[in-house]
Structure 1
Amino acid sequence: MGWTRGIEVPDGERWNGNIHYHRLLVEAVPTGGAVLDVGCGEGMLARRLHARGARVTGIDLDEPGIEQARKQSPGGEIEYVCGDFLTHPFEPESFDGIVSVATLHHMDAAAGLKRMRELLRPGGTLAVVGLARDALPRDLPWALAGITGFTWFRLTKTKWEHPSPIVWPPPVTYREMAAIARDILPGARFRRHVMWRYSLTWTKPPV
């Protein structure tokens, strides 16, 4: 139906491949707890989490994105940090939930998951939606399904273009990402989704 961009577009009128999977993350992490949004961009997911009662901190390296996020939360109800998630001095085990959308492929994925594991409290939940690379020809059916699904949604929705930097292609394949997750987060649930995304959920074992 078209393309839109800019913070003047209400959250409820926005759609793209990342926003499509926000619900998976919102439903995965606890309400009422402290939640970290890694690679928060202009803050749409952080706002959804806050609306469900979470105490949200968003972190992103992109300063213009963080500025847009702060403009959309003028009351300061969400804490936004412009910085490197891998090195910012968060206290270990200080979050009940950690979420991330389309961010792990911007960094070393293993280092990112280890850092999330370190910051998550025992009993807390980590939920990621990420992008990986098709390995052709094995992944051709998934690629075709992605094209079909994306085309359908483009015909029925107006695509919102996010302001954050883009990294393409992702450095690891879906199979490699699943192996990384299994190695670092034993018992994690890894699922592949139609529109070039995977989801990863893991609950840190209680002490």
Structure 2
Amino acid sequence: MPQGVVEHECDAPSSAAGWDEYWLRAKRAQHQGLYARIAEFYRSQIISRAAARILARYLRNETGRHYLHAGCGSGGSDRRLACDRPTFHALDFSFTALTMNRARSLPGTHRFVCADLFHLPYRAQSIDGIFNFGVMEHLTEQDIERALAQFHRVMTPDGYVVLFWPPNFGLSVMVLTSWLWIVNRFRKRPMKLYPDEISRVRSFRWVRELMARAQFQVVRTEFGWRDLFTFVVVIARPLRERASAS
């Protein structure tokens, strides 16, 4: 890793075991389970196209820049990023997810970092942009603020954070929630397809206020047909305190 970017190494927390199990199941079911195959197709063919279009606006394709995929998972949504000059830091606290991500051989220079969002192993203002897909909804509101505080610390003043964040009113949420409700009426043990999503976007106002508390200014939000109304895309810039008058 380039000198001056990494401050210290950070061990993954014990809660990573649950996510390791999730990704191991996903890996085993990748070519077997119907849901796993649909989810992989959705990430690689639909989400990745929408993501590439948006991220191309905010992640400059320049040598020397460092971009952090904060909670990278298996990397299925990254495959169409047309950035071959910067360095991408694929960070996750699941070693299994990182192994799956690395196996994709995504274009560009990648560094794989096993760490959690609350203790990012980077120096202040060393990362030029941060993005993730379907991560923030798995955190409590308090933990979202903790993660955003770390994002703010490591980001350069001119960087962008781009969060693909599913809302309560998203099409995929409504379809899967309705389908699971019907299926689970006939099962003794409820079916669970993915970890709990306890903090989906409730409203555009809610997400702006949450970002503002963490010293981020939301400059744009998107929600539309390109990803089949799956994510609210939150684009924000870090606010810096003005230097006190001398």
Partner of 1:31: 61
Paired-residue identity, %: 15
Query: Deviation of residue 70 (structure 1)?
Result: 1.7
Q: Is the 8 A contact 2:87 2:108 kept in 1?
A: no
1:58 and 2:97 aligned: no
Quick one: which amino acid aligns to residue 171 of structure 1?
S
Alignment gaps of 5+ in structure 2:
1-33, 176-192
Query: Deviation of residue 37 (structure 1)?
Result: 0.5
Q: Aligned runs of 1:1-207 on 2, under 5 Å?
A: 5=37, 14-16=44-46, 18-19=47-48, 21-23=50-52, 24-32=54-62, 33-46=65-78, 48-49=80-81, 51-73=83-105, 77-107=109-139, 108-132=143-167, 134=168, 142=169, 146=171, 166-175=194-203, 176-191=206-221, 193-194=223-224, 195-204=229-238
Relative to 1, partners in 2 of residues 1:29 and 1:66: Cα closer, same or farther, differing over 3 Å? Answer: same
Alignment gaps of 5+ in structure 1:
135-141, 151-164
Matched positions, count: 178
Cα deviation code 1:27-51 (max 9, x no counterpart) = 3222221101111112245554474
Relative to 1, partners in 2 of residues 1:43 and 1:117: Cα closer, same or farther, differing over 3 Å? Answer: same
TM-score for both structures, normalised by structure 2: 0.59
Relative to 1, partners in 2 of residues 1:70 and 1:193: Cα closer, same or farther, differing over 3 Å? Answer: same
Quick one: which amino acid aligns to residue 213 of structure 2?
D
Q: Is the 8 A contact 2:48 2:78 kept in 1?
A: no
Cα deviation code 1:180-207 (max 9, x no counterpart) = 0133244313525242421111233588
Which stretch of structure 1 is more off in the superposition, 33-42 or 51-60? 51-60
TM-score for both structures, normalised by structure 1: 0.68
Q: Is the 8 A contact 1:131 1:170 kept in 2?
A: no
Aligned equivalents of 1:187, 1:130: Cα separation in 2: 16
Larger relative contact order (Cα-Cα within 8 Å, sequence gap ≥ 6): 1
Q: Is the 8 A contact 1:46 1:57 kept in 2?
A: no
Please identify the structure whose Cα radius of gyration is greater: 2
1:27 alignment partner, SS class: helix
Q: Which has the higher strand share?
A: 1
